[in-house]
Amino acid sequence: MTTTSVPTPAAAPTTEVVLEAEGLTKHFPVRRGVRDLFRPALHVHAVDDVHITLRRGRVTALVGESGSGKSTVARLLAQLFRRTAGDIRLRGESVTVRGGRRFRAYCRQVQMIFQDPFASLNPVHTVRYHLTRALRIHGRAGKTAADLEANLHDLLGRVQLTPPERYLDKFPHELSGGQRQRVAIARALGADPQVLLADEPVSMLDVSIRLGVLNLLRDLKERLNLGILYITHDIASARYFADETLVMYAGRMVEGGDSETVTQRPAHPYTRLLIESAPDPDRLQGDAHELAETTPVDRAGGEPPSLIRPPAGCRFNPRCVHVMPKCRTDLPPRFDLADGTGHWAACWLYENGAPATDVAPGSADDGDAAPAAGTDNGRVVKP
């Protein structure tokens, strides 16, 4: 039996840029009551001036805390939101689509995977229904019933749900969380996409099955030469899974580079804070009470800023232990850290290149603030 319509591994070179965004900006209008009619309109500055490049055969991680704008970036890239400003280019061509045939054509190439597989699958329909619909919408069902069946089997095989007959007629509630997410991935693959936008694809799964799903995505990246945007809170998983890591804070990109460098030699004080805040069994060996009093988040002064009136200058400045007067007024551009890896940080500390000795606590105008982290040749070490 031949399967003409199922995706076959693409032959494109792995570094081909497939999707890129420049100056991507999204400001959501704040809903106003009658009493606000004569007041100036307010906006949530969810995403500002984001640059992102996705290449075939590579995973790019987008990391940041809750509310930093990660999902908004993914939805803008998927053309689910109208952007306030900026450009999105698919294989070099600017694209703006709003529904209809052009939107379907775009979706065929750029697919999204959501955090909650249970919510993204219709509980009253079987796996067969979900996958058949995806294949039909994207014109990949084949000509005969036998073609369709073969394509369904092939899709399930790709996400390692085998034997396929065991899963095809199951409803979402009859599957485990990991199996549901695999079905959601199979549905996305039904379009034969070039890009997968995975918005926290494993954060709702049991820890024990997260690795399996990440390994599956990595395998698909390699076999199908997909470009993957991997959105996560968990910077440690970015190191394991992603080729490149971008760090986002309060709607802006603050650091980027290859994952090993960003996670092992973080430059931006926010990235250091993120890494320091990740659970680390070594730190738990200390006195629990002492630990609770000295978490890095506490020492860095707590909360992310309001996105309705974001701070001037660097948005991280109210929490930054290295804050300088300039940080409160001037927006830092990306500074290339000249370490030969493409590593950059949007932080005034690097205005004159990487500091001779790495950013030592108290090296800047940080007043009485306590350090966020000690450093050892740029590698974050426990305080």
Question: Stretches 67-75, 186-194, 285-293, 333-341: which one binds ligand ATP (CB under 6 A)?
Answer: 67-75
- Show the tokens assigned to 164: 């396929």
- We find the least distance from the C-beta atom of residue 74 to ligand ATP, in angstroms, to be 8
Asked if 304 interacts with ligand ATP (CB under 6 A), we say no
CB atoms near residue 368 (< 10 Å):
6
Query: Which residues in 120-144 are b (16+ Cβ under 10 Å) and which e?
Result: bbeeeebbbebbbebbeebebbbee
Output the CA–CA distances (angstroms, integers) from residue 239 to 39, 68, 245, 263, in the order listed: 46, 20, 8, 6
Query: Interface residues for ligand ATP in 157-216 (CB under 6 A)?
Result: none
- We find the least distance from the C-beta atom of residue 28 to ligand ATP, in angstroms, to be 3
Q: Which CB atom, from 31 or from 289, has the smaller least distance to ligand ATP? A: 31
The residue within the footprint of Mg ion, chosen from 71, 79, 181, 232 (CB under 5 A), is 71
Q: Are 81 and 72 in contact (CB under 8 A)?
A: yes
Counting runs of H as helices and runs of E as strands, what totals does the chain give? 13, 14
Cα separation of 138 and 187, whole Å? 11
- We find the least distance from the C-beta atom of residue 201 to ligand ATP, in angstroms, to be 12
Per rule CB under 6 A, count of chain residues that contact ligand ATP: 13
186 binds, among Mg ion, ligand ATP, none (CB under 5 to 8 A by kind): none
Asked if 2 interacts with ligand ATP (CB under 6 A), we say no
Label residue 218 exposed, middle or buried (CB < 10 Å: 0-12, 13-18, 19+).
Answer: middle
- We find the least distance from the C-beta atom of residue 69 to ligand ATP, in angstroms, to be 4
Q: Which residues pair with 232 in a beta bridge?
A: 63
The residue within the footprint of ligand ATP, chosen from 3, 5, 68, 79 (CB under 6 A), is 68
Q: Are 215 and 45 in contact (CB under 8 A)?
A: no
Cα separation of 373 and 375, whole Å? 6
Amino acid making up residue 141:
A
Question: Stretches 50-58, 59-67, 312-320, 369-377: which one binds ligand ATP (CB under 6 A)?
Answer: 59-67
- We find the least distance from the C-beta atom of residue 252 to ligand ATP, in angstroms, to be 12
Residue numbers of the site for ligand ATP (CB under 6 A)? 28, 44, 46, 64, 66-72, 233, 307
Q: Given the rule CB under 5 A, which residues bind Mg ion?
A: 71
